[in-house]
Structure 1
Amino acid sequence: MSSHDPFLPDWSYGLPRWLDPQREEQPQDIPNAPAASLLALMAKLGSSGPQVDPTTLPAAQGRALAATRAQIWNTDLPPMQRHEYVVPPARADAAPCRVVVLTPPNAAPGANLMIPGGGFAFGAPETDEHAGRCLAQDAGMTVVLPDYRKAPEDPFPAGLLDVASVYLTLATHPDTIGCTAGPVVVGGDSAGANLAIATLLLEPQTPAAGLLLYYGMFAPGRQRASHLRFADYPGFTAGKLQRYTEWYLPDPARRSDPLAAPLLAGDAALAALPPVHILGAETDPLLSDSLALWRRLLALGHSVRLDVVPGMPHGFLQMSQHLQDARQALSLCGRVARDFASGL
């Protein structure tokens, strides 16, 4: 990837000045100023006053509210083929899983499994569809969005097993869901990033071409610098994070399982992962999860790239229709996905 590509943002050429690869950050190290572009977008969209936190509602009601709010980010969708399938379980412990398959013109062989986030409780293909279509365009690959079982009705490991089942189908019988045989890149945002890395830890015998992790939760229930820095930040608070954790992992003893907390995986398991791209958001309570995983992989000599988008909040990729920073980030991620698929 050219270091002088005019279509990529300045932040993609190096690490933030405040970040020390050798030392874990402290809360005061992390800038807490929203980007001017984000403030302009929020002012343009306006505010209707305090909003109900969907995590304080019964799960089904909260899920419906989150889906309604996500509609603003998922209009004027980039044109491409869209198909839905129900994937039969490729694992005995999985459930049938609905997937949305997005295929751009002249797509290369293979696919990008893009796992929606939403705290393991609220995400769906439709909440991430605009971002998924942008990624498909920029990667030149089919993107597959799975609608896995959700907490709290189906806590860990139900959603993980469903995603792993879809991954196995993509790797072994892609034609059953309209994909062509080829390299499979696995990725996701937030809880979806957790499920992405956990899928490859669960299925080490089925190697992927690469791993794309967008502002992920990699150690549920553990506090680091960014959790403290942004505990009461608008949009994604410490209270929400705690409720998501309690829904997905109601048994505290399971919060140390590496398939729930990939940061606790052993060195050998992490070293066996394919090349990794970590995209962090600077004003995000989960930023330190991304930085901690990056440092672990660096220490193992693993092929890992880190990008931190300045002034962006958790979940900003969903804003790709309205926010140029998000669109640029997806352009970078698409190029990385294309490189992974090409073996570069």
Structure 2
Amino acid sequence: MSRRDPLLPVWSHALPGWLDPQREEQPQEIPDTPAASLLALKARSGGSGPQVDATTLPAAEGRALVARRARVWNTDLPPMQRCEYVLPPARANAAPCRVVVLTPDSPAPGATLMIPGGGFAFGAPETDEHAGRSLAQAAGMSVVLPDYRKAPEHPFPAGLLDVASVCVTLAKQPETIGCTAGPVLVGGDSAGANLAIATLLLERQIPAAGLLLYYGMFAPGQQRASHLRFADYPGFTAGKLQRYTEWYLPDPARRSDPLAAPLHASDTALTTLPPVHILAAELDPLLSDSLALWRRLLALGHSVRLDVAQGMPHGFLQMSQHLQDARQALTLCGHVARDFASGL
């Protein structure tokens, strides 16, 4: 990847100066200034007044509200050679999990399972489709978006079991989903990143070529520097984070289970993971989750790459239709996915 490639974000070339690999950041050390491009996008859209918090509504109403809001980010979809809804067979303890298969022109063999986030409660293939298509184009391979069971109706480990079932099928019987045999990558954003790493901790026999973790939640219920720094940040507050945790993990005793909180996984378990790409957002309550996981993997000598999207908020990849930084970030993610798939 060229340092001067205009398709890549400028922050992909080096880690931010405030970040110390040897120690955890303090709240006051984390910048809180939005990127100029983000401010310009808000100005073009006319800004927004107070919005109803979807986590304060009954789950079905909240899901419908999130889906309506996501439509603005999911128009003018990048063209695909194939966009198909598929219902793979479900394994024991999993529910039938609808997936959307996005295949670009002239795809390479294999596929990326990209798990939508939404606090384990709201994400769906439709809310992530523009980003998924953009990643498919950038990676040059099929992207599979699963529609797993959601909390609070289906708390941990229901969604994880659904995603793991799809992942095993994709690895062992890709033709049943409409994908070709080849390298399998596993990834997700936010809660989807949690489910991605948990899937590979649960199903260690899956020969994944890479793990793609975008601004993930890796220690539900913990308080770290970024949780304090951005507790009241617009769009994703500490209150929302707490409600997501209570929905997905209503039993506090399960919040330290490594399959729910991958930062609690043993060193031995973490070393079984394939090469990892962590993409963090600087203006994000979950920033410190990503940095803590990065430091653990570094200490283990594991193959891990970290990129910090400077001046970007949680969920910014969903803005790819209207935000150049998000498009550039997805191009970067696609390049990394290609490298993982080719074994580089």
- TM bucket by the smaller chain? over 0.9
Equivalent residue, structure 2, for 1:134: 134
* 1:227, distance to aligned residue in structure 2 (A): 0.1
Equivalent residue, structure 1, for 2:114: 114
| TM-score (normalised: structure 1) | 0.99
* 1:200, distance to aligned residue in structure 2 (A): 0.2
Confirm or deny: 8 A CA contact 1:113 1:184 kept in the other structure.
yes
* 1:2, distance to aligned residue in structure 2 (A): 3.5
* 1:47, distance to aligned residue in structure 2 (A): 3.5
* 1:43, distance to aligned residue in structure 2 (A): 1.3
1:168-223 Cα deviation digits (max 9, x unpaired):
00000100111000000000000000000000000001120000000000000000
SS in 2 for 1:83: strand
CA distance in 1, matches of 2:302, 2:5: 25
* 1:276, distance to aligned residue in structure 2 (A): 0.2
CA distance in 1, matches of 2:127, 2:245: 20
SS in 1 for 2:99: strand
Equivalent residue, structure 1, for 2:52: 52
Question: What is the one-letter code of the residue matched to 1:291?
Answer: L
Confirm or deny: 8 A CA contact 1:100 1:146 kept in the other structure.
yes
CA distance in 1, matches of 2:205, 2:143: 22
1:262 aligns with 2:262: yes
Kindly report which structure 2 residues correspond to 1:244-323, keeping only aligned pairs within 5 A, or say none: 244-323=244-323
Equivalent residue, structure 1, for 2:88: 87
Question: What is the one-letter code of the residue matched to 1:270?
Answer: L
* 1:46, distance to aligned residue in structure 2 (A): 1.6
1:289-323 Cα deviation digits (max 9, x unpaired):
00000000000000000000110000000000000
Kindly report which structure 2 residues correspond to 1:93-172, keeping only aligned pairs within 5 A, or say none: 93-172=93-172
Gaps of 5+ in 1: none
Confirm or deny: 8 A CA contact 1:210 1:340 kept in the other structure.
yes
1:31 aligns with 2:31: yes
* 1:7, distance to aligned residue in structure 2 (A): 2.5
CA distance in 1, matches of 2:308, 2:49: 30
Question: What is the one-letter code of the residue matched to 2:18?
Answer: W
SS in 2 for 1:108: coil
1:42-84 Cα deviation digits (max 9, x unpaired):
1111245211000000000000000000000000000111000
SS in 2 for 1:25: coil
CA distance in 1, matches of 2:253, 2:88: 31
| TM-score (normalised: structure 2) | 0.99
* 1:5, distance to aligned residue in structure 2 (A): 3.1
Kindly report which structure 2 residues correspond to 1:231-250, keeping only aligned pairs within 5 A, or say none: 231-250=231-250
CA distance in 1, matches of 2:88, 2:121: 20
CA distance in 2, matches of 1:332, 1:49: 33
* 1:10, distance to aligned residue in structure 2 (A): 1.7
Question: What is the one-letter code of the residue matched to 2:305?
Answer: R
1:9-55 Cα deviation digits (max 9, x unpaired):
22111110000000100000100011111011011112452110000
1:62-117 Cα deviation digits (max 9, x unpaired):
0000000000000000011100011111x211010000000000000000000000
SS in 1 for 2:98: strand
1:17 aligns with 2:17: yes
CA distance in 2, matches of 1:311, 1:47: 17
Name the Cα RMSD after superposition. Answer: 0.8
Confirm or deny: 8 A CA contact 1:85 1:98 kept in the other structure.
yes
1:265-293 Cα deviation digits (max 9, x unpaired):
00011011000000000000000000000
Overall identity of the aligned pairs, in %: 83
1:177 aligns with 2:191: no
Gaps of 5+ in 2: none
Question: What is the one-letter code of the residue matched to 1:335?
Answer: H
Equivalent residue, structure 2, for 1:207: 207
Question: What is the one-letter code of the residue matched to 2:117?
Answer: G
Residues 48 and 309 (structure 1), Cα distance of their counterparts in 2 relative to 1, 3 Å cut? closer
Confirm or deny: 8 A CA contact 1:200 1:207 kept in the other structure.
no
* 1:4, distance to aligned residue in structure 2 (A): 4.1
Equivalent residue, structure 2, for 1:334: 334
1:131-157 Cα deviation digits (max 9, x unpaired):
000000000000000000000000000
CA distance in 2, matches of 1:106, 1:288: 38
SS in 2 for 1:138: helix
Count residues with an aligned counterpart.
343
SS in 2 for 1:220: coil
Confirm or deny: 8 A CA contact 1:116 1:145 kept in the other structure.
yes
Residues 229 and 170 (structure 1), Cα distance of their counterparts in 2 relative to 1, 3 Å cut? same
CA distance in 2, matches of 1:303, 1:40: 36
Confirm or deny: 8 A CA contact 1:78 1:130 kept in the other structure.
yes
